Structure 1
Amino acid sequence: MRPSFRTRLRARSAGAAAVAAAGSLVAAALTVTVAGTLGSPAAHAASGGAPRDVVANLFEWNWPSVGRECSNVLGPKGYGAVQVAPPEDSIRLVGSHPWWDVYQPAGYDLNSRMGSETQFSAMVAACHAAGVKVYTDVVINHTAGSNQTSTDSYGGATFNPATYSYPSIGYDTSSFHFDPPCPNSDLTIKDWNSVTQVQECQLLSLSDLYTEQDSVRSKIAGYLNKLEGYGVDGFRVDAAKHIAQADMAAILGKVNNTAAGARPYLMQEVYPGSGGQLAPAAFEGNGNVLGFDYAYGLRSAFLGSITGLSTFGQGFEPSGSDAVMVTNHDLERNGSALSYKNGTTFNLATEFELAYGWGSTPQVYSGFDYSDNDQSPPADGNGYVTDTVCGTGVWECLDRQRGVANMVGFHNATAGQPVAHWWSDNNNAIAFSRGAVGWISVNNENSTVNATYQTGLPAGTYCDVIHGDFANGACTGPTVTVDGSGNATVSTAAKDAVAIDVNAVVGSGGGTPTTTPSTSPSTTPSTTPSTSPSTTPSTPPSGQVAETFSVSGAPAGAPVYLVGSLTALGSWNTGSAIALTHAGSVWSGTVNLPAGTAFQYKYITKDSSGNVTWELDPNHSASTGSAAGTLNDTWHGATSNVSATFDATVTTWYGQNVYVVGSIPALGSWNTGSAIALSSAAYPVWAATVTLPPNTSFEYKYIKKDPNGTIEWESGGNRTASTGASGSVTFNDTWK
């Protein structure tokens, strides 16, 4: 019989060292680094053009509900991605239909508890149309439990777990680990610090795949490529600790780039506690690891005192590798992290997570209520998950709760800014700014805190985004007045927060685009993109210049529009996008923009039904001058057919990562925030393969990024190269 949930969690974390309390935590002058594998966003909401990296984890929501949430909440609020449940066919345990049966695969078809393959495809399309990437939970370490007697699945796959038979996938007994290589005849893990047992025996009777075999690797990669074929952008790898790192690297080597031309983003489930090859740090070469350390630390702080959070992150995984979270479906059930059952404390901790900026891809968790740890999500009699209905005490929709949802915009607006102006009452209340862009007060006490704070922000009246929505220069809730010295007197209610940022200035007419200070490179790129002057159209208002946009290569059949990070470009709202006119295959238009202003933008198409198609990543980046200018662009489509591999021999210290950045959009247009992350799997050689446009000359350089966000450019002049008409090319370089 399957062990209870609590027994399973104890087994998975057996041998774990005690988690550091909140007092052992990272330096206050923290600069955030966003994982380079994410690429640029497809859209943006109230963030001044910064990348969107917040992930809404909609645990076991069905596909139609996820699609609606992307369209109505996640996209408009500025979420970068949604994480969804495992989409593969799984065992169906008649009667209770526990939530965990979806973590016991029966087939790699996409008909599951959450909906059909057609509904899955429609969900991904809806999310992409809203500018939200899709990360799927994938179960590739094992299939269904060998101790299960059910041969029924949600999608109709034929299988028999007792005989290790999965004909729809092509797995038979030769596809699984037995004794040997597992040293235990009953195939159980007895020593949780033994690499062999953890990675070659069965995790809780779940049939462990023989991932050393190329045939097994190919089948797993085929499943991941199928998901990418529907537009999936990345994966949360369940039980990644139980897959040898070399096996995972070999599987990933067979996985295609995403439809956006980037490597899929990876979050690996690696429980902490073991050392050496089983430590979370040992898995970072293949991708990010889930932030169990972060979740444990937040629980300790918010159930005790938060005054020590000024150094939160010390002793954790490096910020750029730590896929942080307040909780997930496992941790909320065994009580090792906060959950909806902690009420406003859970909300407050999530708001802090979004404000503080430590870690990559911070998650906002929205699950369902439960009274039993194995309880099914709301479902029909056959176990198929029913639609999510928020506000009923059945589903917990934290992602749309005002304070949390609006803090996603705060997080985007303050990306890359250091934590500063730290304040504490030495009890249980704190406040801090993110540079001169945003400020928050967090009160974990049981009574109101009144104080005057140095916010670091320019003088003005700001919308408190925790309690009000900001649009068109107006706030639906309370406001905060900052004086000419940057001070503000604020009352923060018990178990509550107050937050302001420069994109929510009352009376501003729509939000002030932020300019993120850049780290000066040791060597400035020799050439950077420039705008060509053109004939000035009708005289624009004072302080503005006429910028002409021209794009070729856009898809035929629908009008082309322009949308971007400035108010005049719609602030990433597709409903306010600028309609362009066409002459032949070129679409163009002229817009009055603020002079001397950096901005980002993209081209989109809209059909007669209002459906939006975004060009692929990355965003276009430009700056206006003091006179009119013209930007001549090519639509970022999927026509590029040159595969370029960058192999750079670079010596680094632990925690440093290496990126390549260059003069063309595919290499970030010299924007270090859009640089391409290289893998250290063959250290000291750092490598990545990038799709580049054909017949294109370009310049590039390698950079190092420290965990605190410091950027080091290699010395000397820019490297120069060019692509051919097709095929592949490899650049073998050594750091200079």
Structure 2
Amino acid sequence: MHRAAHLRRPLIAAASAAVLAGAGLALAPAGSAAAPAHRAAPSGHRAAPAGHRAAPAGQHDVIANLFGWNWTSVASECTTVLGPAGYGAVQVSPPEESFDDSAAGHPWWDVYQPVSYRLDSRFGTEAQLRAMVSACHGAGVKVYADAVINHMTGQGSATGYAGTATTDKYTYPGLYQNGDFHHYPGDCSNSDDTIHQGDYTSNAYNVHNCELLGLSDLRTESDTVRATIAGYLNSLIADGVDGFRVDAAKHIPEADLAAIESRLNGAPYIYQEISYGAGEAVQPSDYYGSGDVLDFQTGVYLKQKFQGSISDLQTFGATWGGMNPSDKAVSFVANHDTERNGSTLSWKDGATDDLATLFLLGWDYGTPQVYSSFAWQNSDDAPPDNADGTVTATDCSSSAWYCMDRRTSVTGMVGFHNAVKGAAVTHWQAPSGDVIGFGRGSAGFMALNNSGSAATETFSTGLADGTYCNVVDDCATKATVSGGSATLTVPAKGAVAFDTAGPAATRR
């Protein structure tokens, strides 16, 4: 059956049509140095479940989000790039068998419509998944899988990439039957079974229990459903997966997620997809007890400021409207949803997108994520694939892919992030709206230039006198600190950063 347009994977899972138009995401007033105050988390929120790790351990915590990459390519990137650069983890696409939408040309979003929990997908076989995890671990890189556990498909009938067939969207032989899903009127008050736009501001029950864009909504309060989901996640843990990005977590009650997590083996790292909307009935802070949260506002504000005045970024962080406490936030410039709906920067913004990524790695907020994926022209475009929809090997030398994670400037800043982790932001300076500099205690200093021409400025660094390697260009240039100050020529749409850990090649 050909998919209906309204069954697309949502561009931001919780926000529906308003967010597609840019509404519902808080924006700082133009020219303001600070955004509206962040709504405080409810007092006494539930502690994390036993066994849940609240944050990535160690100095190396940067996550490379390799969206749409097949398992063999991820394995190679871990070995040749991520491990040597000092990344802490890699996020990989949903590994379950999903709907094979060949009629629509295998769009990227069909991987968000599971038909089974077999670990054979358009990204590779389970054996290839295990080999990828082993290779990444060998390089010192953890693996976090994108877990689609809120729903199954939105199709009347569907066949998966591994051949599993379903006859309707509520029947999955050997897995789920009709009673394992939410239905009108007992569970959802909307007669069409779907979440309506007004529910986001007034009805958390419907946000949790109605269908997201027609996708069959799992009855996660059911012990049987919880056990089945936990079994799927535990099969990934058995294959070596270290944690999970929980897709569409905003549509699962936090208590249900906590109950599922309590059944997981080991201590997987959990971070949840919950977009912020001012005045909405379901907020990211509702979920702090069951894991960290993806901070959508990070990318929204960075787009605003890097297309406006970066000198406004002095207070950037948890005090800005809708942003989360730093120790609960997974921060990002863009992801597969936001690059398509325009709420954040994307690869199409070129050097501005690059520079915002460097800033995120240099600043002290959240667990930063670096996004690499494939180039697209139409929002439904598939990653480069074979005729059967299986994804081909990533070729970073091709214009079909963009590999932010391996750029010299980015790998240098991953090292900088690791070297200055835990040091406060100090010595803020803004010689102009386009040029800023800041220190990270006595551990490092960074200057950024968002203008179209080089800028030469003298900055107070807070570092001991000496000559330092510019990690942004892999030591091609150096910075000299004398009397605590350095005169730096910062390239157009570029940055200079240096730290006390030494040349990039010796500190990883």
Deviation of 1:26 after TM superposition, in Å, equals 11
Asked whether the 8 Å contact 1:67–1:126 carries over to 2, the reply is yes
DSSP-derived class of the 1:75 partner: helix
Structure 1: unaligned runs, 5 residues or longer: 28-34, 42-50, 258-262, 469-474, 512-570, 573-736
Say whether 1:287 aligns with 2:294.
Answer: no
Count of residue pairs brought into register by the alignment? 476
Q: Which residue of structure 1 lines up, in the alignment, with residue 75 of structure 2?
A: 67
Q: CA deviation at 1:149?
A: 4.3
CA distance in 2 between partners of 1:323 and 1:292 (Å): 9
Identity of aligned residues (%): 47
Secondary structure of the structure 1 residue equivalent to 2:293: strand
- Aligned partner of residue 285 in structure 1, secondary structure: helix
Secondary structure of the structure 2 residue equivalent to 1:107: coil
Matched with 1:393 is: 399
1:427 maps to which residue?
433
The answer on 1:318 being equivalent to 2:325 is yes
Contact kept? 1:13, 1:271, Cα under 8 Å: no
Task: Work out the CA distance in 2 between the residues paired with 1:491 and 1:386.
Answer: 42
Shift of 1:405: 1.0
Residue 310 (structure 2) aligned to one of 285, 306, 310: 306
Closer/same/farther in 2, CA of residues 242 and 495 from structure 1, 3 Å limit: same
Question: Conserved in 2, the CA contact under 8 Å of 1:305 and 1:428?
Answer: yes
- What is the aligned counterpart of 1:379 among 364, 385, 396? 385
Q: How does 1:72-471 map to 2 (within 5 A)?
A: 72-95=80-103, 96-145=105-154, 148-162=155-169, 164-168=170-174, 170-179=175-184, 180-190=186-196, 191-193=199-201, 194-257=203-266, 263-273=267-277, 275=279, 278-313=282-317, 314-315=319-320, 316-359=323-366, 361-468=367-474
1:18 is matched with 26
Shift of 1:38: 3.6
Q: SS in structure 2 opposite 1:106?
A: coil
1:113-134 deviation line (CA, Å, top 9, x unaligned) = 1000000000000000000000
TM-score normalized with structure 2 length: 0.90
- What SS class does the counterpart of residue 207 from structure 1 fall into? coil
Q: How much does 1:25 deviate?
A: 4.9
Counterpart AA for 1:406 = G
Question: With CA pairs under 8 Å and 6+ residues apart, which has the higher RCO, 1 or 2?
Answer: 2
CA RMSD, Structure 1 to Structure 2 (Å): 2.0
Q: Which residue pairs with 2:490 in the alignment?
A: 492
Checking the alignment, whether the CA contact within 8 Å between 1:8 and 1:204 is kept in structure 2 is no
SS at match of 1:209: coil
Residue 536 of structure 1 corresponds to none
Aligned amino acid, residue 300 of structure 2: Y
Structure 1 177/99 Cα, relative in aligned 2: closer, same or farther at 3 Å? Answer: same
Name the CA distance, whole Å, in 1 between partners of 2:179 and 2:278.
Answer: 30
Counterpart residue type for residue 378 of structure 1: P
- Correspondence for 1:502: 500
1:56 to 56, 64, 85: 64
The 1:282/1:13 distance shift into structure 2, 3 A limit, reads farther
Deviations 1:559-610 (A, max 9, x none): xxxxxxxxxxxx66xxxxxxxxxxxxxxxxxxxxxxxxxxxxxxxxxxxxxx
- Summarize the Cα distance change of 1:325–1:106 in structure 2 as closer, same or farther, 3 Å threshold: same
- Gap runs ≥5 in structure 2: 38-51
**Structure 1 length-normalised TM:** 0.63
Residue pair 1:13, 1:273 contacting (<8 A) in 2 also: no
**2:9–2:109 Cα contact (<8 Å) kept:** no
- Per the TM alignment, residue 36 of structure 1 is displaced from its structure 2 partner at its CA by 6.0
State the match for 1:520 in structure 2: none
Give the conservation status (yes or no) of the 8 Å contact 1:240–1:269: yes
C-alpha separation between the residues in 1 aligned to 2:308 and 2:135? 41
Tell me if the contact between 2:55 and 2:327 (Cα under 8 Å) persists in the aligned partners: no
Is 1:482–2:503 an aligned residue pair?
Answer: no
Between stretches 364-373 and 6-15, larger displacement belongs to 6-15
Instruction: State the match for 1:729 in structure 2.
Output: none
Q: Which amino acid aligns with 2:419?
A: A
Deviation at 1:285, TM superposition (A): 1.0
SS of 2:16's equivalent? helix
Matched to 1:455, the amino acid is T
Whole-Å separation in 1 of the counterparts to 2:212 and 2:176: 18
Does the aligned pair in 2 maintain the 1:26–1:312 contact within 8 Å?
no
Aligned residue in 1 for 2:44: none
SS, match of residue 211 in structure 1: coil
Partner Cα distance (2:461, 2:10) in 1 = 47
More strand per residue: 1 or 2?
1
Larger Rg computed on CA atoms: 1
Change (3 A) 1:226 1:7: closer
Q: Distance in 2 between matches of 1:36 and 1:216?
A: 24
For 1:302 and 1:100, the matched residues in 2 are separated by 29
Comparing both structures, which one devotes a greater share of its residues to helix? 2
